[in-house]
Amino acid sequence: MVSRLHQGTQFRQRLYGILDQGSGVDQFGAVVNWTLIGLIVVTLAATVLESVPRLAGQYAKAFQAIEYAALLTFTIEYAARLWTAIEHPRWRRFGAIRSRVRLAASPAGLIDLAAVLPFWLPLFIAADFKALLVLRLIRFFKLTRYSPAMRSLLEALYAERRALVGCFVILCGATLIAAALMHLAEGAAQPDRFGTIPDAMWWAIVTLGTVGYGDAVPITAAGRLIAGLTIFVGLLMVALPVGIVATAFANEVHRRDFVVTWGLVARVPLFSELTAAQIADVMKILRAQKVDKGTTIARRGEPAHSMYLILDGEVEIRLRHKHVHLGAGDFFGEIAALRQSRRSATVIALQTTRLLALDASDLHSLMDREPQIAARIRDAAQARLGEELETTGGDLIPAELPNTKIQPRI
């Protein structure tokens, strides 16, 4: 009985790992996830083709088969996600029901539900559900889960939401002012196009958007002057959000550098005792970083914000009286990150090195959650500190630094 229960939990953990981390878990995980991605793409293509009446008539059976297969698969996937939600490391403490409610209410959960729920209706209610054809395109958003680039773009938009809302507010103001001025200047000359402010707003939006359909053009001198100014403002208005999003997107992509996969994290010795679900959780707080040979990764005495795990390559720890080499599987930077102080040594990359960086705040919460990892990191820090104290006579942090305690990064 107990072993059955244990097997059930193990299966749920494995399923969670596959659904949450996909291709990185193992070959079976890769097959499951590529099947889901393939089905999303096929159902989207089928939706588009089905809107062509000739094709809809000719291949009606094939379209129906694709829809049934997709609906059934996505429904099973949704149910499996709900069932395994309790394995989510941050939700586990909420228990079965609350963790499932959390999943159902999350953006990804809502997209998964919207991708299936409306499409069951025609099977039970006899009515014309033509709009459902277009609604199927919601399934496109399921791809966000599998595309780091799409995720990066959404994260960039989210990170810059305040600046973008600011741009939108300014754009609304500019539209109103341009429309009102144009209504004053052109209202009498062209009452059908600029007779009211809402009429003139169409012109303002098209001009500020730098589209210029040419269906409404000023004919008075004052109107042309206002149009000229509006075009200049429009150029600025378009450049502003485009620049903000492009910069944020580039930063986000560079920050990721390479994709942290389940396989990479599972290979790190420090995480060797974690379950699939725990590894999945750790993945979310790690940042991938690639450094070139000769790069100074940490400088003695500098404030520290992260600890690093070496995936491959080699680094040199330059202590006062000796140099220590660390390679794949080792970690460094834990001393300052733990003590929220400054670096005790300079660290240089001896080769091109791939690292996983862990922010100090994330390190602390990980250590709170995972006592074995906490013990291993603390032991290493203690041993390294002890060694260094022995050779420096206790002068670990440079004396010229007045305040070794640093503020956490916001």
| Alpha-helical segments (H) within 257-332 | 262-267, 276-285
Instruction: Closer to ligand CMP by CB, 313 or 333: give it.
Output: 333
Of 74, 78, 194, 332, the residue at the interface with ligand CMP (CB under 6 A) is 332
**Position of minimal CB gap to ligand CMP:** 336
Instruction: Closer to ligand CMP by CB, 112 or 334: give it.
Output: 334
Residue 22's region, left for phi above 0, alpha for psi from -120 to 50, else beta, is left
Closest CA to 28 of 10, 9, 15, 13: 15
Give SS3 for 331: strand
Of 103, 347, 348, 349, the residue at the interface with ligand CMP (CB under 6 A) is 347
Tokens 């091109």 appear where?
352
| CA atoms lying within 13 Å on the CB side of residue 71 | 18
Of 277, 335, 355, 377, the residue at the interface with ligand CMP (CB under 6 A) is 335
> Does 388 interact with ligand CMP (rule: CB under 6 A)?
yes
> Does 273 interact with ligand CMP (rule: CB under 6 A)?
no
> Does 336 interact with ligand CMP (rule: CB under 6 A)?
yes
Residue 370 beta carbon to ligand CMP: minimum distance, rounded to whole angstroms: 19
> Does 319 interact with ligand CMP (rule: CB under 6 A)?
yes
Do 38 and 31 form a contact (C-beta atoms < 8 A)?
no
Of 113, 167, 317, 367, the residue at the interface with ligand CMP (CB under 6 A) is 317
> Does 298 interact with ligand CMP (rule: CB under 6 A)?
yes
Do 358 and 336 form a contact (C-beta atoms < 8 A)?
no
In angstroms, what CA-CA distances link 393 with 135, 318, 376, 397?
Answer: 71, 17, 25, 11
Of 66, 227, 280, 304, the residue at the interface with ligand CMP (CB under 6 A) is 304
Burial 351-376, CB ≥16 within 10 A → b, else e: eebbbbbbbbebbbebbebbeebbeb
The piece of 58-66, 149-157, 182-190, 335-343 that touches ligand CMP (CB under 6 A) is: 335-343
> Does 167 interact with ligand CMP (rule: CB under 6 A)?
no
Instruction: Closer to ligand CMP by CB, 277 or 326: give it.
Output: 326
Tell me how many residues contact ligand CMP (CB under 6 A): 18
List, in order, residues 6 or more apart from 339 with CB less than 8 Å away.
Answer: none
Instruction: Closer to ligand CMP by CB, 155 or 302: give it.
Output: 302
Residue 409 beta carbon to ligand CMP: minimum distance, rounded to whole angstroms: 14
**Six-digit token pair at 191?**
């009452």
Interacting residues toward ligand CMP by CB under 6 A: 298, 304, 317, 319, 324, 332-337, 343-345, 347, 384, 387-388
